[in-house]
Amino acid sequence: DIGKYTLSLECYHEALRIYIVEFGREHVRVADTLQRIAIDLAVTEQNDQALKTFNDAIDIRERLLARDDLDVDDTIETVQSLIHTADVDLDELEDQFGSIIECYEESIPLSSKLNGPNRPGLSKMMHRLGDFYRKTRNWEDAAQKFQDALSIQQALASGEEGKVDEGEVCSILYKQGVVSLMMEEYQQAKSCFESAIYRRRTAKLKDSYAEATTLYCLGVAFFHLGGNKIAMVTFTEALRLYQEVNGKNDVLCGYALHWIGRQEVLLGNLEQAVTWYRGALTTFKDKKDVVDYAAVIKTLEFLGDAQENQDDQSQALKCYVEAIRLVRWKFEKNHPFAIELLCRSGAICEKQETTKEAIGYYIDAISVMKSCCRPNDVQLCETTEILGLLHQKEGNLPAAKDTLSEAYKLFEATKGQENERTAIAILNLGRVLDLTDDSDAAMQCFRECLRVQRNVLKSDHPDVAETLCCMGKIFAKDTTYNDAVKCFQQALSIHRNSHGDNSVQVAATLHDLAKSYQAVESFDKSIVCFKESMRIVKSSKGDDTDSEVAEISYGMALSHVANDNYQASIACFKETLRLWRNLAKEKNRACDVLKKLGQVYHESGDDGEAVVCFQQALDIVDDRDTYDDMLTAELLSAMGRSLAATGHHDAAIDAYQKHIDLIKSETENRELVAESLFAMGSIYTRLGNYEDAIQHYKDCLLVRRKAFGPSDVKVARSHAQLGIVYEKDDNLKGAITSLHDALRIYQGLGEDRDTIATLKHIGGIMVKKGDLGGALEKYAEALRLTKKLFGSSDLQVAVLLHTCGTILFDRGDFVKASELFGDCVRIRRAKLGSEKTETGDTIYMLGRSLLESGEHAEARESLTEALEVLTKGEEELNIEAANCSQALGEVHNGLEDYTSAVPYFLDALPARKAHYGEESVENAETLYGLANAYLNLSRWTDALEAGVGALEIRKIVLGENALDYAESLNQVGDIQSAMSMEEEAILAFSEAIKIYSAASNRDAMTVAECLEKLGSLCISTEKISEAADHLRRALKLYTEQIGGISPKVASVLLLMGRVEAKKISLDHAIANFKQSLQISKELHDEAAVAAALYEIGVVLESGGKSGEAMECYKEALRLSRGPAATEIRARTLNRTGGIMADLEEYDEAMKAFRKGEPG
């Protein structure tokens, strides 16, 4: 170091001598000392000696390397390294080869200086130095030395001798090609290998081994350049040469087979590739002592990959597992080799759905990655994420949450927060948080993901749509369905733009959107989305048994059910059922579909099919490994309902009883037990077995009281149903008691609707009992509550007004009834219009009320309008119109418009006869009214026919003691009297009087009138004594009922006077006539006064007092004016004419007779 090289050399020589003595000449210290001596010699310009000394040092080092088996020109190692470059300790390589490299680097310049730059020896030194640089993986220096060696060879070729060592050149070209491969300069490598082969073949060098290796490496170059077909040719030729040289089981043959397999994969020949890989592995197995296990592991990996691509997952997994075993045997447990193998093994287990095994492989892979100090490696991020997703799939949500949280942190550290891959990581974390019911945290993740995606990606990127879908599902889960709809709509728009209208993404989003529309009750929109989703799924997958098709069909069925489109829902449920039955994992869900299908059949009225569905569902439950009591109970209850609807009452009761037996032990099932008891009560009610019905309703009531307390609404409903059965069993008292119990609870709970219904029901029963007052009170309270709840103009108010009006009508309070009917008409006209039947019914009842209250003109107006509504434009009257026509006939009779009355009765007669029957009180009523009209029109024959018809029907239907029969007798008597059928009339009136007199609720006025008419007839038939008796009774009844001063009393007194006159008791006769005269005068009834004066005149004339009689006649003529007095005026004129004739005043007599003749 201080430049004293002579002393330095002396010291080095002495050291050299000692080392040789101590260690021998073949020792590294000897070589080191020779190298130091050579350096000093070179510095002191002793170049020849220096070069010789360097060469001595190099020779010793070369021999030492050979002794330690450190051959730098190892063909097998080169071939192996092209399959997998092993990790090496570069420091160790530097220790092994650094010194010899330095020797060569020092000696080469000296050799060039002393011997010239273009000498074969110098080329070999460059070649050798390149080998050492290649060994230490100093590829650039190796390439330079090989290039320098080639340059010397080129110079020698162009020199005077023109000869080169072709073997040397080919070797250099080969090695330079290998270095170029390592430097990934594949085109350069290809050129080197091709030159080497060309020169070797041109020079006809016989080293097949070297040619094979060069071809092998050329194949690798073609492989990397994408020339797989050419690579296949070169590898195949290399294999042939290796087999020629060393036989088929040579390890190099195995490496060649490995590469041939890789080319077959790239050429799409997987089956051939598998064969080549297996051949390679067989060769490696036979050469365990020399094979590179890294190459074996890679071959197993590539074989597994090929088998995966053949969809032979099991064989692929065996390859990976064997490779992992070799890694752990030949290398350390956490060697990087294992990472890819573990990940591939996990992926296969995922495909095979052996999730636990997959999780194990991924956990091991992550452990290896972390031990290899790769904390921010992307593969570590992705594998951690996959592991989290597998934990999620396995249902281990806490582990999934922790693992995906770690994956998100790894991505954030590796990729940064504002990165699309980081966004996906937080999206996956959000999904698992959602599954743990931490919706708020999940939504935070989704919102953050959406924010990042919108910043990093375009707003219409497919990943944005995926996040929006996740947010939509959270909104749907939290029942904020309108927000869910918005998210799915945005996602749908993005998916359509990104993937097209017929993509599976669009189908899935439409499915989610359909379910959200369903939740907001937009069922038509949901059906449209379901149908479009179904169309896309079927067209894209072409598999009509796909579970997704079944899910869509199921959802669509539910929307059709909500729309009451039972036929469409049934078709969808059947399609779902067919698909799920074909899918093993969904067979249990078929039970749910059968249950819902049965419910739809029930709602649509096809309970026979419903029973079949429920039974099939029960069979599925029975076949399960675990028995589901509650589901079985639910199905039994549903089956009981449908069996009852189909009339299989015993089977229904049996199903309900099984339902009760299955669940009655659990307190929380009390209401379910009560519902079945209630249903059984309904069945017994339908069968008319009221005793068992009442018992089951009582049991239901008891259970509900225990479950809910005595004042619960369900207890009230049990009371109400019990009341219904009591009513059916004719126990009206029990019915009212139970309904009052229900009413008390409803009123206490403020359940106005149920209160109204119960009040109406109680009112109806009271009507049956004849307690119209009590019924009216209940209906009035119901009316008050209905007005409060719905307003005074609601149609329900109209219904109650009509009901209350009808009760008042039946009670005879026609004025109040007409007021309520009038209010009802106003509501129904406003809400329904005048043309509706309900409006017509009320107008009809209004008309009848007005008729009964004597308001004939108003009644005629209402009934005419009602008839127009009720006829509905038809020629033949329906029964409602016929009844209205009947009432109009009665109105016109009351208005004395008998001509108009007749057509109404005749129109009503056929319909009422057809509806009520020929022998019915209604038919008799019409005939009675028609007879009255005919009677007053003097159509005696028609009147008698109609009257007798009514009489005969009433006798048959009502019996001979009925007041209506008496009324008909009375009418027939009037007709017979008018037809001068006095004897028949007397019989009719006599029979009527007997019936009237015997009736407890007789009308005294009607009896009196009948006695009066009977008395008049007895006078005509000279039955004076009977006449006197009848008239006395009539007078007594009239006087009691209406007092002494009345037209009726005056009329009877007049008849009694005639009786006395017939008896020649003239004084008594005149007394009766005068009494009648006085009453008529007080009543200012001139016609009646004239009649009394006439009778007095007749008696006076018969007593010879013609003058006094003439005075009476004259006064009678003066007073007998108007149509009502026509008859009495005519009689009086005839009497005056007779007196004039007796007095021989014939002219005056003729005048009187002529005036009297028209009467």
Per-residue pLDDT reduced to its tens digit, 411-436: 998 888 899 889 999 999 999 998 88
Query: For residues 542 and 482, what is the distance between their CA atoms, to the nearest angstrom?
Result: 33
Q: In Å, how far are 259, 750, 816, 847, 1107 from 798, measured between CA atoms?
A: 96, 23, 15, 17, 72
In our burial notation (b when 16+ CB lie closer than 10 A, e otherwise), range 49-59 reads ebbbbbbbbbe
How many other C-beta atoms can be found within 10 angstroms of the C-beta atom of residue 960?
Answer: 13
Q: Give the least confident one: 8-22, 300-314, 364-378, 639-653.
A: 364-378
- The arithmetic mean of pLDDT across residues 348-364, rounded, is 92
Per-residue pLDDT reduced to its tens digit, 887-906: 999 999 999 999 999 999 99
- Phi first, then psi, for residue 354 (nearest 5°) are -95, 75
* Percent of the residues in the chain that have a pLDDT greater than 70, as a whole number: 95
The amino acid that residue 775 corresponds to is A
Q: Is the dihedral of CA 601, 606, 607, 609 positive or negative?
A: negative
Within 8 A by CB and 6+ apart from 680, the residues are 653, 656, 657, 696
Residue 1143 pLDDT > 50: yes
Per-residue pLDDT reduced to its tens digit, 463-518: 999 999 999 999 988 889 999 999 999 999 999 998 888 888 899 999 999 999 99
Band (pLDDT 50/70/90 cuts) for residue 1155 is: low
Residue 59's pLDDT is what?
87
1131 near 1098, Cβ under 8 Å? no
Query: For residues 1137 and 1112, what is the distance between their CA atoms, to the nearest angstrom?
Result: 14
Per-residue pLDDT reduced to its tens digit, 950-981: 999 999 999 999 989 999 999 999 999 999 99
Band (pLDDT 50/70/90 cuts) for residue 1064 is: confident
Residue 568's pLDDT is what?
93
Residue 1137's pLDDT is what?
84
CA triple 866-871-875, angle to 5 deg: 145
Map tokens 């010789």 to a residue.
Answer: 52
Using CA atoms of 528, 529, 535, 540 in order, give the dihedral in degrees to the nearest 10. Answer: 170
Residue 376 pLDDT > 70: no
Mean pLDDT score of the chain, rounded to an integer?
88
Residue 1159's pLDDT is what?
46
DSSP 1124: G
Residue 176's pLDDT is what?
92
Assigned token pair, 833: 């219009």
Per-residue pLDDT reduced to its tens digit, 806-841: 999 999 999 999 999 999 999 999 999 988 889 999
Residue 542 pLDDT > 60: no
Query: For residues 407 and 388, what is the distance between their CA atoms, to the nearest angstrom?
Result: 8
Per-residue pLDDT reduced to its tens digit, 150-164: 888 888 887 766 677
Per-residue pLDDT reduced to its tens digit, 1014-1046: 999 998 888 999 999 999 999 998 898 888 899
Residue 87's pLDDT is what?
64
Question: Residue 854 in 3-state DSSP?
Answer: coil
- The alpha helices in 606-689, defined as continuous H runs, are 607-623, 629-645, 649-663, 670-686
Question: Residue 254 in 3-state DSSP?
Answer: helix
For residue 764, how many C-alpha atoms fall within 13 Å in the half-sphere facing its CB? 13
- The arithmetic mean of pLDDT across residues 331-338, rounded, is 81
Q: Give the least confident one: 92-101, 668-677, 691-700.
A: 92-101
Residue 784 pLDDT > 50: yes
Residue 1156's pLDDT is what?
58
Which class for 229: exposed (0-12), middle (13-18), buried (19 or more C-beta within 10 A)? exposed
DSSP 991: H
Closest Cα to residue 33, out of 53, 3, 62, 49? Answer: 53
Map tokens 């009355």 to a residue.
Answer: 901
Q: In Å, how far are 467, 544, 593, 617, 765 from 552, measured between CA atoms?
A: 22, 12, 13, 21, 52
- What is the DSSP annotation of 907-941? HHHHHHHHHH-SSSHHHHHHHHHHHHHHHHTT-HH
Residue 69 pLDDT > 60: no
Residue 540's pLDDT is what?
75
Q: What is the CA radius of gyration of the chain?
A: 62
Contacts 24+ apart (CB under 8 A), 536-542: 536/501, 536/502, 536/503, 536/504, 536/506, 536/507, 536/510, 537/504, 537/507, 539/502, 540/502, 540/503, 540/504, 540/507, 541/504
Which class for 698: exposed (0-12), middle (13-18), buried (19 or more C-beta within 10 A)? middle
Residue 96 pLDDT > 80: no
3-state SS, 563-584, equals CCCHHHHHHHHHHHHHHHHHCH
Residue 95 pLDDT > 80: no
Residue 807's pLDDT is what?
94
Assigned token pair, 358: 């997959």
Residue 404's pLDDT is what?
93
Question: Residue 791 in 3-state DSSP?
Answer: coil
Within 8 A by CB and 6+ apart from 687, the residues are 649
Residue 76 pLDDT > 90: no
Query: For residues 348 and 18, what is the distance between their CA atoms, to the nearest angstrom?
Result: 67
Per-residue pLDDT reduced to its tens digit, 230-258: 999 999 999 999 898 888 888 889 999 99
